[in-house]
Amino acid sequence: MSTRMFSSESVTSGHPDKVCDAISDAIVDACLVIDHNARVAVETCIKGMPEKSVIILAGEVSLEGDAPDYVTIARKAAAEIGYTSHAIGMDATDPSLCDVLVYVTTQSTFINQGVDRDNIESQGAGDQGLMFGYACDETEAYHELKGRYFPLPAALSQRLSRRLKIVREEGILPWARPDGKTQVTVAYNEDGSVLGVDTVVLAIQHDKHLKDRFNGSIEKEQAHVRESIVEHVVEKTIPRELLLPGYKLIVNGTGRFADPGGPYADAGLTGRKIIVDTYGGMGRHGGGAFSGKDPSKVDRSAAYAARWAAKHVVAAGLATKFEIQLAYVIGVAEPVSLMVDSFDTGVISNEALAKRVAATFDFRPAAIARDLDLLRPIYKETSSGGHFGRVPTAEGYFPWERLEPARIEKLLQS
């Protein structure tokens, strides 16, 4: 039987683009604490330089109350990720080593007039656009991944990036730095069933003095990094039965990835990792980023709702692979189109599935915010490790990953 390969990547919380996502989402959260109806669209750019780093905030905010301290929020978000040393790429805590520039105005009145209305029926979408939601059953054969209903390459690459954060923050690999990337290639049989993991790629910034533990030997340093990644990251993250015999592992493929890295090595920008944030390329994407946007922006909320609905369809057993597309017009509540595709895995037709989805889920922006309880400060948590395929928490994070038996029952009975 012939095989095919599919790869997905992820990045750590310290990747420069993800630092920007975290800062932008920390601002969203702070604004929602002040006013749960705040309108927020804030982008972040960061860059480390030899003398000092810079964080640039630009966008629009409208809220009832005093604006939060954007400078303090930005510094704290970057510091919490681990950027507290200029030597590794940025020290966000020291004003002499990091500037924060703020260019934030109020939201356009032409947008407000279509969005800020009194009720669910009339509150329009914050912009035009199209959003996709996707789910499949690839993760459901593996105990550690069960309940995610998510593409396997994306699920594994995301787990690796989250594990890199854990081993650094818990001191398991004290030489690890915040910046890193992961990639997983899964082999599939001709019939679409999973064969196993063919290739794992990781890049992790490390302490430039690590080689001193090996008398300056870069070869021994690299061997230590590789062995540590195998023991503490790969084997703790990917189910053993998924690792194919002789699977390929590439760690820091260009050689050393020593300090300084992070924003010094590469500028960061909000919204530049939209495939990492969603389905790793296996599900389609409408093009709109999530981070830095409040829930009135359907780029964010409707993408969450579409994922929520798609996951219910697969969990209900109505398809093993399912995608939803929603499209909106600025200022109009109802989506102008709803398209579904079961990729020939549905137990009923796509037309029938679309009717059941429409009867079970309300995709008007205010209804999405109500049903998923989105007007809360829950967004910084989403800024790294993926927005989808996560475990919903008791604290209310990732509510679009929650499965509701009543909605599954309605899908089955519609």
Walk me through the domains of the chain, giving residue ranges and CATH numbers: 3-11+152-262 (3.30.300.10), 16-115 (3.30.300.10), 129-135+273-284+295-413 (3.30.300.10)
For residue 154, which phi and psi values (nearest 5 degrees)?
A: -70, -40
- pLDDT given at position 19: 98
Closest CA relative to residue 264, chosen from 373, 328, 179:
179
Other C-beta atoms within 10 Å of 412: how many? 12
**5 has a pLDDT exceeding 90:** yes
Instruction: Please give the residue that has the higher pLDDT: either 118 or 258.
Output: 258
Model confidence band, residue 122 (pLDDT cutoffs 50, 70, 90): low
- Mean pLDDT over residues 93-118, rounded? 76
67 is catalytic: no
Q: What are the backbone dihedrals phi and psi of residue 371, each rounded to the nearest 5 degrees, phi first?
A: -70, -30
Name the nearest CA neighbour of 292 among 74, 12, 11, 34: 74
**Mean pLDDT score across all residues of the chain:** 95
In this model, does residue 113 exceed pLDDT 50?
A: no
Q: Give the distance from CA 358 to its chain's centroid.
A: 26
Q: Determine whether 116 is an active site residue.
A: no
Mean per-residue pLDDT for 340-346? 97
Active site residue 299: yes
Q: Supply the pTM of this predicted model.
A: 0.95
Give the pLDDT of residue 126.
76
Residue 189 has pLDDT above 60, yes or no: yes
48-77: per-residue pLDDT in tens? 999 999 999 999 999 999 999 999 999 999
* Nearest residue to 314 via CA among 282, 342, 340: 342
For the chain, percent of residues with pLDDT exceeding 70: 96
Annotation marks residue 273 as catalytic: yes
Query: Is there a catalytic annotation at residue 143?
Result: no
The active-site residue out of 9, 17, 294, 381 is 17
Instruction: Quote the CA–CA distance of 390 and 141 in Å, as a whole number.
Output: 16
Residue 306 sits at φ, ψ, to 5 deg, of -65, -40
As a whole number of angstroms, the distance between CA 349 and CA 342 comes to 8
Kindly tell me if the per-residue pLDDT of 111 is higher than 60: no
| Active-site annotation holder among 35, 80, 266, 334 | 266
257 is catalytic: yes
